[in-house]
Chains A and B, each alone.
Chain A
């Protein structure tokens, strides 16, 4: 005869085993809209690529959650008095995913790779004239000019260190990445997903979640639907209209933090009337940016110059323009802008938020007598015709991502041909160039403050603001971080409760 308790006991044991098992073996799925172009950190500068790469590779130094640069693969660094020497002491016993040991030779080979032709970031490392590796854990860089932004470049995604042996073997990092990061690359089905598994040898300890799948879902409403059905644990891009639903549902948490983005409506300063700073100031005054932020981007902070709100580089003397259509009309009249002035606004598809913002701005400029004709162009066209080459446009709307150092955002400013809006100011150009090669932090801050003040007074943009970084997560999945300024995904403290 069967023991009366046996069946329930077996069932209970199974249930417990399943629950325990699922808690440990659970895969966390993250949905995000932009997919990587490549998984090779030295051939791209696209944030979408680094969002995924962040977990596969490590950098010598990295920004912490407040944006301060802290040790990564290097546990310390020193800069010489004259700023011409930068030395790193490397962490010991770190292994690459292919089992080889990380040492100074890998750093040297990576720097050479970063400086090579075809590396989009070559100019950020061009001042390094010699890389010495006196021993396996020491790297000494000799520079031909002080490079205050170099540490920030090493902390950025493209500072990822790859193994020297594989560089020599011309390994295809783009499709089969090998790094030292917390997660090991497992599989990439392009246009669909990347699968990562926890690195048991990670130098800061094995991550808690064993498997992470990053799914590329262009449509934000599909991300939201997937979150609701439980297919996604984290949805990185949920539309502002869905935020109230998420906040009112106990199964989900809406996380909001500051972002490094500056949202702008760029003005082509090569064009008639737009070349006049008074007109550009007038356009800033004519737009109620609070409304634009609210309607298009779900709210955020106003900015008065080309630097994200809350940045340490921002001098506190700069205020946002504010909304004053009366004053805008006066300025436009003063500048002699004709009644039938019509602007060509090119908006990038498929960025719906920018398109919405453009429509709101069109409406507001209409109120001060400026006609705006909207033209929606596909992203490839935007990059090729608006941002580069012909630059055939009067205005556009775009977001500029954060940079760890001000030089990243302001490089080339003041020189007409180096920026898409064509803002020209020899003094600004000289200050930007000087700030890139001096090491005194106080002097640099002063120079950038002057540059940012000029960019406020003669704005090449209508400054819209800095939005929040917003993502939605399942209530039981916590510890997902978006790296400040770099906007990459940090999965190291990810956990399932």
Chain B
């Protein structure tokens, strides 16, 4: 177990180094530079040069790379070029919005996806099953921003039931949840569709398995059969759930943009536009950490749920 954890930790570090280096180089390879953007339309070249010196962007990429890494090792993510404050502070302000949105969406996706999937799996070929199939096809095929705008048009503009845009960071929990309903539904739909498909498939597989037939033929009550089936179907779903959680992170970028939610996704887009390299790198570190952490957790949970994995 310890060896497993250690090897996992090592792979986390390697992943982080590779991803962060890639992002560092990719951002510098983008045309355009932070000083010119900060200066705007009326600045002269001399002023842009002065800004560049002030921000340390006049040094070679190799030197910047070194400076950045020596900071990261000491736990210092640098200062935001655009916001002129520590990157850690920017992330701390923005993370809660994204976490709230992602967890709300995940709970929704879980409830809708597993619920529909299990119901459809129990009654294959039924109208409900067909409806589920229809929902999942549409849910997977259509992009998030399209759903977002559709929901805004119907529920915010037409019925006025929800706000069009924004998020009161300092508002009451109820008000904040109210602002998150449409974004969370938008984010949840494709994930729910994916989960419903897999849950249905897993259930059908287990329901058709020999042990289920045996259990039924020896007259086990339906409730007990369900328990056996669930115990076998559930662990197989875990890696997918972890993947979906990771997918939620990328989904939040689009959804935060559509609904104007000031989370990490909007920060990332703003930072890319302003070539705010330290913030892009900071968000990357955070996203990779969350992604790896969730997958790690899923592995551990799977081991806990499936005794067979413990002896490998």
Interface residues of A (CB under 8 A from B): 37-38, 40, 43-46, 117-118, 120, 122-123, 172, 174-175, 187, 189-193, 215-217, 222, 225-226, 228-229, 231, 378-385, 387-389, 400-401, 408, 412, 418
Q: Is B108 an interface residue (CB 8 A)?
A: no
A146 to B42 Cα, complex, angstroms: 22
By the criterion CB–CB under 8 Å, are B45 and A187 in contact? Answer: no
Q: Of residues 78 to 110 in B, which have CB atoms within 8 Å of A's CB atoms?
A: 82-85, 90, 93
A390 to B2 Cα, complex, angstroms: 56
Instruction: Decide: A229 near B160, CB < 8 A? Known: A37-B82, A192-B262.
Output: yes
By the criterion CB–CB under 8 Å, are A384 and B40 in contact? Answer: no
A378 to B51 Cα, complex, angstroms: 21
Min CB gap A99→B, angstroms? 24
By the criterion CB–CB under 8 Å, are A45 and B42 in contact? Answer: yes
A123 to B45 Cα, complex, angstroms: 12
By the criterion CB–CB under 8 Å, are B260 and A174 in contact? Answer: no
By the criterion CB–CB under 8 Å, are B274 and A215 in contact? Answer: no
Q: Which of B6-14, B162-170, B212-220, B298-306 contacts A (4 or more CB under 8 A)?
A: B162-170
By the criterion CB–CB under 8 Å, are A190 and B83 in contact? Answer: yes
What chain B residues lie within 8 Å of A382 (beta carbons)? 32
Tell me the nearest residue of chain B to A226, going by C-beta.
B164
Residue of B45, B153, B166 with highest tally of chain A CB at under 10 A:
B166
Q: Which of B16-24, B190-198, B265-273 contacts A (4 or more CB under 8 A)?
A: B265-273
A378 to B267 Cα, complex, angstroms: 17
A358 to B45 Cα, complex, angstroms: 27
Instruction: Decide: A384 near B37, CB < 8 A? Known: A192-B266, A215-B166, A225-B164.
Output: yes
Q: Is B275 an interface residue (CB 8 A)?
A: yes
By the criterion CB–CB under 8 Å, are B164 and A222 in contact? Answer: yes
What chain A residues lie within 8 Å of B39 (beta carbons)? 44-45, 120
Instruction: Decide: A231 near B163, CB < 8 A? Known: A384-B32, A385-B31.
Output: yes
Min CB gap B83→A, angstroms? 6
A229 to B170 Cα, complex, angstroms: 22
Instruction: Decide: A45 near B169, CB < 8 A? Known: A191-B262, A380-B273, A381-B32.
Output: no
Q: Is B156 an interface residue (CB 8 A)?
A: yes
Tell me the nearest residue of chain A to B269, going by C-beta.
A191
Q: Is B297 an interface residue (CB 8 A)?
A: no
* CB contact between B51 and one of A118, A229, A383, A412 (< 8 Å): that residue: A118
By the criterion CB–CB under 8 Å, are A189 and B42 in contact? Answer: no
Tell me the nearest residue of chain B to A44, going by C-beta.
B40
Instruction: Decide: A378 near B42, CB < 8 A? Known: A222-B164, A384-B36, A384-B37.
Output: no
Min CB gap A248→B, angstroms? 17
A387 to B36 Cα, complex, angstroms: 9
Q: Which secondary structure dominates where chain B touches chain A?
A: loop
Identify 23 residue pairs between A and B in the complex whose beta-carbon atoms are under 8 Å apart, listed by A's number. Answer: A37-B38, A37-B274, A45-B40, A45-B42, A118-B50, A189-B262, A190-B83, A191-B267, A191-B270, A192-B167, A226-B164, A231-B163, A231-B166, A379-B37, A383-B36, A383-B40, A383-B41, A384-B31, A385-B31, A387-B36, A388-B36, A400-B41, A408-B42
By the criterion CB–CB under 8 Å, are A229 and B156 in contact? Answer: yes
Q: Is B152 an interface residue (CB 8 A)?
A: yes
What chain A residues lie within 8 Å of B60 (beta carbons)? none
Min CB gap B88→A, angstroms? 15
Tally of B interface residues using CB under 8 Å: 47
What chain B residues lie within 8 Å of A44 (beta carbons)? 38-40
Interface string of B252-281 (1 = CB under 8 A from A): 000000001110001101100111000000
Q: Is B206 an interface residue (CB 8 A)?
A: no
Residue of B40, B261, B266 with highest tally of chain A CB at under 10 A:
B40
By the criterion CB–CB under 8 Å, are A222 and B40 in contact? Answer: no
A68 to B105 Cα, complex, angstroms: 54
A117 to B275 Cα, complex, angstroms: 22
What chain B residues lie within 8 Å of A379 (beta carbons)? 37, 273
By the criterion CB–CB under 8 Å, are A215 and B40 in contact? Answer: no
A101 to B243 Cα, complex, angstroms: 58
Further 11 A-B residue pairs, CB within 8 A, beyond A192-B167, A381-B32: A190-B270, A192-B260, A222-B152, A222-B260, A225-B153, A228-B157, A231-B164, A231-B165, A380-B32, A380-B274, A418-B44
By the criterion CB–CB under 8 Å, are A174 and B164 in contact? Answer: no
Interface string of B28-70 (1 = CB under 8 A from A): 0011110011111111110110110010000000000000000
What chain B residues lie within 8 Å of A38 (beta carbons)? 82-84
Tell me the nearest residue of chain A to B90, going by C-beta.
A190
Q: Which 6 A-B pairs have the closest CB atoms?
A: A380-B32, A384-B32, A192-B262, A46-B40, A45-B42, A381-B32
Instruction: Decide: A120 near B152, CB < 8 A? Known: A175-B84, A383-B37, A388-B48.
Output: no
By the criterion CB–CB under 8 Å, are A229 and B157 in contact? Answer: yes
A418 to B160 Cα, complex, angstroms: 52
A216 to B257 Cα, complex, angstroms: 11
